[in-house]
């Protein structure tokens, strides 16, 4: 019998029943649920682990969130929708949602995976995606969408905040308080240009670490870009490959990360 996360975790059947209670869904095929909660470290072979369900659940999660954002924010441009979606479906968000749900205590895994700090965030986030994939296969798209929206609704409201433009400084402030119990600081590293047309380079200092810097045509803009850089490193948003690192012409090369 596989062991459940935690020194005195429940039995397999108890874990399955508890998971159904947490998500308010009863499986017709409980083997799907068992597979969704089975980490590769304890699986007899690759096909018995939750990795295939994770692949499916990630796609279902993305589709449901995209459709919800499309319907909810009819005035948002594609870039705004993409940025909100990238935060809501990120592995960091999935891990936090799974932990708040209590899913991290129901995963079947080997004893060596969990350390003093608990389970790795990627593992917990993957379990949530696997669970979504299992619900999709067992109950169809409607059942999966109902579960997803119930779980990520607070995240959508937090990220979008009813505003057309995302406030990365606000997002980083909230993320830093949740993750580290500390507030980020912003440091001006450099400035370039004449007084009437300056560019500024700013970096975030958080929990003793300096994150990659961002340039802007004002300190406010540079702080927003620096906050996004920090969020990318922390895994809270996906990298924006279409957004240039340096928005000003002929800026010097700079690498201020530590």
Q: Which residue numbers are catalytic?
A: 58, 129
* Triad 148, 66, 77: Cα angle to 5°: 145
Cβ atoms < 10 Å from Cβ of 66:
16
In DSSP notation, 15-71 reads HHHHHHHHHT---SSHHHHHHHTB-TTT-SSGGGSSHHHHHHHHHHHHHHHHHHHHH
Kindly compute the dihedral angle of the four CA atoms of residues 89, 161, 80, 234, in this order, to the nearest 10 degrees: -50
| Residue owning tokens 């970096």 | 203
Residue 182, helix vs strand vs coil: coil
HEC profile for 142-167? HHHHHHHHHHHHHHHHHHHCCCCCCC
What would the two tokens of residue 193 be? 């240009």
Q: CA-to-CA distance for 229 and 237, rounded, in angstroms?
A: 9
| Residue owning tokens 């909100």 | 84
Residue 230's nearest CA partner among 170, 149, 189 is 170
Q: For residues 234 and 175, is the Cβ–Cβ distance under 8 A? A: yes
| Residue owning tokens 């590293």 | 189
């Amino acid at each position: 019998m596989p062991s459940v996360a935690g020194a005195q975790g429940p039995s397999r059947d108890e874990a399955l029943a508890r998971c159904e209670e947490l998500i308010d869904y009863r499986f017709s095929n409980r083997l799907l649920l068992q597979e969704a909660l089975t980490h590769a470290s304890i699986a007899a072979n690759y096909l018995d682990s939750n990795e295939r369900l994770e692949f499916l659940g990630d796609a279902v999660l993305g589709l449901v969130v995209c459709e919800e954002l499309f319907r909810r924010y009819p005035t948002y441009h594609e870039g705004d929708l993409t940025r909100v979606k990238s935060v809501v479906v990120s592995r960091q968000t999935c891990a936090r949602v799974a932990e708040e749900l209590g899913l991290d205590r129901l995963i079947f895994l080997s004893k060596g995976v969990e350390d003093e700090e608990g389970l790795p965030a990627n593992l917990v986030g993957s379990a949530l995606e696997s669970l979504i994939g299992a619900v999709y296969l067992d109950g169809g798209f409607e059942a999966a969408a109902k579960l997803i929206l119930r779980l990520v609704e607070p995240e959508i409201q937090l990220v979008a905040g009813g505003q057309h433009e995302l406030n990365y400084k606000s997002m980083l402030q909230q993320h830093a308080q949740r993750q580290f119990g500390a507030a980020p600081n912003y440091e001006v590293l450099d400035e370039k240009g004449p007084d009437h047309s300056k560019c500024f380079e700013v970096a975030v200092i958080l929990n003793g670490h300096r994150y990659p810097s961002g340039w802007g045509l004002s300190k406010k803009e540079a702080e927003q870009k620096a906050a996004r850089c920090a969020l990318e490193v922390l895994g809270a948003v996906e990298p924006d490959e279409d957004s240039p690192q340096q928005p000003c012409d002929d800026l010097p090369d700079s690498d201020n990360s530590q």
